[in-house]
Structure 1
Amino acid sequence: MKKFITLPSLALLAFTHLAIASTTTSSSTEASAVTDGPYLFNQANTDAPKTAYWICTNKLLSTQVQGLRLVSPDNCGQLPQPTLNPKADHISAGTYSNINKIVALSDVHGQYDILLTLLRNQNIIDKDNNWAFGDGHMVMTGDMFDRGHQVNEVLWFMYKLDKQANEAGGKLHLLMGNHEQMVMRGDLRYVHERYQTAAKLLERSYDELYDESSEIGQWLRAKHTLVKINDTLFLHGGISGEWIDRELTLASANELYRKNIDKSKPELKQDELLNFLFFGNGPTWFRGYFKPGYDETELDKILDYFDVEHIVVGHTSQEQVLGLYNNKVIAVDSSIKEGMSGELLLMQDNTLTRGLYNGERIAL
């Protein structure tokens, strides 16, 4: 059931649920002016014009949605002004074949400027930050949330690209990582301190800013956790042998993730299958490929199970896009979260290529 926002009647107590990795005093938070948004929620009166909420130098302002366009208040910084996508909650297929070109990257963690520079330099987007990859498929293997200071900008940018890619005959695959899952179940240890302001002014805990009543939350809850494109499986962490033992399919796992994404950790832990999927050796947390002594024969069984040649993962940070086990595993977490640079993986014409931050390309 969808929830509705009634501002400012929500209990301020919700804000106390916001936990962050590094604590700061309220005075230091108030001293730094925050500009943030937009935030858009379902409303009790569905016939009334939709209202978008903005944080403008620590003040909560609102504007009415003009058709499908969100327009920020005057003098409110360079915030996203997105066009809403009526099909944002559409669930796409989980398997694709005969795709001519693919780009993959991971673990942006709110580093919006780094993301834009990398995609522009590699001609995935144009100078105006619009989709320029034609009928290609772009895979973001999770972890847009947490750590960085421009998470909301990243989310609205990806929301825009999702629509533009479809219109161009391409596709954006936005896969759920462990940090998306953490935020949605209220584990807020890694949220950047600047988001305290939005949570306080909107009288919602941070996770509720992206719950099932929000535009971004509904969009995210329609996304997969794993996708297969051509001869490659994409996901956040990795596939362990336990997946095969449980005889899981991509379709069944993706459905289970969507149905249970809002459950608490104790609730998930009570169910053996959900405990596997959301934690430990599950696809959003597994790091086995990177550990000394990993048995490559297990990897070969996994590749055979999915009938793929490659598994592309994020989650485990590297200095660059890295191929392991003769490129059977390709790691695309290139430490974008550090806020300095990053790389992406390009797959075209049976060629694997590292796309560097400066625009250069090097064979993997």
Structure 2
Amino acid sequence: MMNSIFRPVILGLAFITTAAISNDKAEFDGPYVITPASSSQSTAYWVCNNKLKSTAVIEQQVKRPKSCGQLPQATTSAEIKQVMPDTYSGIKKVVALSDVHGQFDVLITLLTNQKIIDDEGNWAFGNGHMVMTGDIFDRGHQVNEVLWFMYKLDQQARDAGGMVHLLMGNHEQMVLGGDLRYVHKRYDVAAKLLNRPYDKLYGADTEIGQWLRSKNTIIKINDVLYMHGGISSEWISRNLTLARANKLYRQHVDASKQSRKADDELNFLFFGNGPTWYRGYFSEEFTETELDTILNHFDVKRIVVGHTSQERILGLFNNKVIAVDTSIKKGQSGELLLLENKQLTRGLYNGSRENL
């Protein structure tokens, strides 16, 4: 296994490592690509040795300034900011994982060892679909690195006939809605230098912010439903569809917590028993009969969720529910779930695989 702290250039992008961080403050951070409403010209902002620098985005190229560490460079894409369907069929292979929480090094090691990406960090999963069931944001110190990596992987997967589904978790919704309780102190530097609250670094006028706001919160691939927290029985009584829920999530992701709670439907979707917070499957009171009713409602065989931390990929109710939050947030290891040819497989951190 390659050392998870010092990694080679990834995807033609170079990333800072934990060695670039001192006293919880970043010497190097970015880029934050912003396009003001009054202009069509995008500008990339960089924190270089704790000083703010900027570069123009020319022909979609986001190029790092000189003497600015090994920060991500990228090619922007309008295609991956388009709203995509929330239902897919005939997909031959799927990989799912969750709750990275800014642990870029662990993510790269896991995906490389499981051959989802190659040794240079490029997409290697062909026409397969990757599902990240939320919570890239908060806790960890490499959130921006993970976001730009997933952004690039989104492009590469589509070029190969595959797809990356970055689902919105409760921490994405918290950050974009201005709840910044779990943001790593490292990002105080960028917020101060750009004179923007952290949530506005990913505002609707930013490249990453626009990309995030195009994403779904719940998707169905073949006979499996994917989301961050879980689907409760309350969903059925509300007669919601996936399309309506995903649209409401996108429309109100920037709304304040107070305004979400004031609306009955939004209060359900964004909190409590809603799909990004629900943990009912792990309760002793939850029954297989209740689960079967939910599965029948969506015409699926199983549900894949993150949000509730485990030590490994965990199957419940004869694998009708599969938990894929394997505590990557701790920064030590993690697992992923592979679904191929009706086989469920645990992809371990060391590259080996075991049947679930």
TM-score by length of 2: 0.92
**Match of residue 76 from structure 1:** 68
Q: Any gaps of 5 or more consecutive residues in structure 2?
A: 1-20
**Match of residue 194 from structure 1:** 186
Distance 2:49 2:158 in 1: 35
Change (3 A) 1:33 1:216: closer
**Match of residue 35 from structure 1:** 28
In the alignment, structure 1 residue 314 sits paired with structure 2 residue 306: yes
Counterpart amino acid of residue 274 in structure 1: L
1:175 pairs, out of 163, 167, 178, with: 167
Q: Any gaps of 5 or more consecutive residues in structure 1?
A: 1-27
Distance 1:299 1:146 in 2: 31
1:283-303 deviation digits (Å, cap 9, x = unpaired): 000000011231211100000
**Match of residue 329 from structure 2:** 337
Distance 2:351 2:22 in 1: 37
**Match of residue 101 from structure 1:** 93
- 5 Å-filtered alignment, 1:253-272, equals 253-272=245-264
Change (3 A) 1:45 1:239: closer
**Match of residue 13 from structure 2:** none
Distance 1:33 1:263 in 2: 29
Q: Is the 8 A contact 2:230 2:277 kept in 1?
A: yes
Counterpart amino acid of residue 90 in structure 2: N
**Match of residue 305 from structure 1:** 297
- 5 Å-filtered alignment, 1:167-316, equals 167-316=159-308
Q: Is the 8 A contact 1:311 1:329 kept in 2?
A: yes
**Match of residue 153 from structure 2:** 161
**Match of residue 14 from structure 1:** none
Q: Once the two structures are aligned, what percentage of the paired residues are identical? A: 65
Q: Is the 8 A contact 1:239 1:283 kept in 2?
A: yes
**Match of residue 6 from structure 1:** none
SS at match of 1:79: coil
1:157-187 deviation digits (Å, cap 9, x = unpaired): 0000111111110000110000000001100
Distance 2:285 2:198 in 1: 40
| RMSD (CA atoms) | 1.4
How big is the shift at 1:66? 2.9
How big is the shift at 1:33? 4.8
How big is the shift at 1:195? 0.2
Distance 2:80 2:260 in 1: 27
SS at match of 1:319: coil
TM-score by length of 1: 0.90
How big is the shift at 1:363? 0.2
Distance 2:323 2:205 in 1: 34
Q: Is the 8 A contact 1:104 1:332 kept in 2?
A: yes
Change (3 A) 1:355 1:30: closer
In the alignment, structure 1 residue 126 sits paired with structure 2 residue 118: yes
How big is the shift at 1:78? 1.5
SS at match of 2:121: coil
Distance 1:159 1:345 in 2: 21
How big is the shift at 1:44? 5.0
Distance 1:31 1:179 in 2: 21
How big is the shift at 1:88? 2.8
**Match of residue 15 from structure 1:** none
Distance 2:180 2:328 in 1: 20
Distance 2:27 2:134 in 1: 26
**Match of residue 23 from structure 1:** none
SS at match of 1:139: strand
Q: Is the 8 A contact 1:30 1:58 kept in 2?
A: no
Q: Is the 8 A contact 1:321 1:343 kept in 2?
A: yes
Q: Is the 8 A contact 1:88 1:218 kept in 2?
A: no
